[in-house]
Amino acid sequence: MITVRFPSGLAIQYNSGWYIEAWGERNVAIKDTKEGNLIAVVPRDCLIEWVAPCRIYNSSTNETESKIFRELRLLRSQLKSKRKKRVRK
């Protein structure tokens, strides 16, 4: 699987893409096999990443996600306390 990241930030994932080759001076061709079907032609200034088609992770130990939820709870409680202060005035 190949992910192409354009300089603008747009990213496209090609699930059947596995090979790249030069396509003229400024482009790269993405193919499904070494001699196989052409899937896409993209500019050479793109970042091309090979990505495993699956991943293994334990979401219960994902610290980033739990940190985000903690921050959201904190913001929610701060908003509630500010609303209470406004109502009292």
Query: In a structure prediction context, what are the per-residue pLDDT tens digits for the chain, which is 89 residues long?
Result: 888 999 998 889 888 888 899 998 999 999 998 888 999 999 999 999 887 776 655 556 656 667 778 888 888 888 888 777 766 65
Q: In this predicted structure, what is the pLDDT of residue 29? A: 94
The predicted pLDDT at position 57 comes to 57
CB atoms under 10 Å from CB of 28, counted, come to: 18
Range of the domain at 37: 2-52+61-88
Strands 19-23 and 27-31: antiparallel
Place of tokens 């495993």: 52
This prediction's pTM:
0.55
Instruction: Give me the number of domains the chain comprises.
Output: 1
The pLDDT value given to residue 68: 77
